[in-house]
Amino acid sequence: MITFEKLSKRPRVFRIMTGLTLEEFSELLDKFQSSWQFFVNREFLSKERKRAYGGGRHTRLHSLEDKLLFILIYTRIYPLMIVQGLFFGFEDSRACDWIHRLLPLLDESLGFTHTRPRRENGRSLEEILIEYPELKEFGITVDGIERAKRRPKDQGKQKSEYSGKKKRHTKKNVVIVSLKNRQILFLSRTRDGTVHDKRIIDEEQLDCNDPTIMTATDTGFLGLKIGNAKIIMPKKNSKLHKLSDSDKEQNRAISSHRIVAEHAIAGAKINRSVQDVYRNMTDEINDLLMSVACGLHNFRVAHRQCF
């Protein structure tokens, strides 16, 4: 049975299992404690009860450390429910209950650390610039994240979720990444695999009145407009219009900016919950797992750049 007390004595294994160091875990635990207390007050203490809070059968996740460890291991490794239950000494049905209870709290905790990416519809990039003024100098890049899911039984969903690019059923998001520190600043809503990346970012209704902000994208975002932001993308080579040496040099410069988004996506996909085939039954959990994965990536980047 895995407990924080046992696993913390093996820092290398702890980092492999959770994706965080012991110091990062301790910092996140402080915010997770606030989320847990808000949850207890909202769901238990503020309601009329026939028995005092804490009555009934006792959980094996006694401490807050064990609760945070439980949900971090699930998002990092993404085991089957029955395996997750075996890790912590209870059946798969209780493991499922704990995942649905703790996953939103982990997402909320990352919001308290100011590392969860922004998700507000109609958000202006100027609001992000207030928090990250360095973006005016370094710029941003836009890219899509696509991940596989199980083939749905419903015929309508089979058609809407099938990605011709990946040749399988997928879900996708679009992210905006800082070119300076690889942090994911914005995460779109989760959409079906058939929806085009440009359409996703258009429907988010982002706006920007500053024409000096450089936004690097690939050719999949052809025609993209984010207010007055300057959109740069590589030029395409063709039989009739060959690229000149200056065009190739410019494409290499743009690629050196766009690779930052690929690194950020790879950082989020350290969590197997957004890399492996999605096995859960609801789209809400799919969206929540992506938000948590991006938030944990930002948390690691922010913490490790300080040292």
pLDDT in tens, 230-273: 888 888 888 888 888 998 898 898 888 889 999 999 999 999 99
My answer on whether 74 and 166 are in the same domain is no
Predicted local distance difference test score (pLDDT) of residue 156: 86
- What pLDDT score does 195 carry? 92
CA 239 from centre of chain: 40
**Residues 130, 90 within the same domain:** no
70 lies in some domain: yes
The span from the CA of 41 to the CA of 43, in Å, is 6
pLDDT at 306 (0 to 100):
53
Residue that terminates a domain, selected from 82, 112, 142? 112
8 and 80 part of one domain? yes
> What mean pLDDT comes out for the span 77-88?
95
Q: Are residues 33 and 176 in the same domain?
A: no
- In total, how many domains does the chain have? 2
Residues 171 and 210 in one domain: yes
Query: Which pLDDT value is given to residue 140?
Result: 86
For residue 307, pLDDT beyond 60? no
SS3 of the chain: helix, strand, coil, percent, to 5: 50, 15, 35
84-110 b/e (C-beta count within 10 Å ≥ 16 → b):
bbbbbebeeebbeebbeebbbbbbbbb
Q: Which pLDDT score, from 0 to 100, does residue 126 have? A: 67
Q: Is residue 286 part of a domain?
A: no
**94-103, 201-210, 285-294: which has the minimum mean pLDDT?**
201-210
Identify whether 299 is part of a domain: no
Distance, CA of 144 to chain centre: 12
Mean pLDDT calculated for residue range 75-81 = 96
- The overall average pLDDT reported for the chain is 88
Q: What is the model's pLDDT at position 49?
A: 75
Residues spanned by the domain of 67: 4-112
Q: Are 162 and 97 found together in one domain?
A: no
Q: What is the pLDDT of residue 121?
A: 57
* 153 and 214 housed in the same domain: yes
Full-model pTM: 0.90
Kindly state the average pLDDT of the residues 280-307.
89
- Of 136-140, 175-179, 255-259, the one with minimum mean pLDDT is 136-140
Q: Which of 57, 89, 112 is the last residue of a domain?
A: 112
**Shared-domain flag, residues 203 and 107:** no
Point out which residues pair with 147 in neighbouring strands: 171
Given the DSSP bridges, would you call strands 168-178 and 140-148 parallel, antiparallel or unpaired? antiparallel
151 in the same domain as 92: no
Same domain for 216 and 72: no
Measure Cα distances from 88 to 29, 74, 92 in Å: 19, 11, 10
Same domain, 100 and 130: no
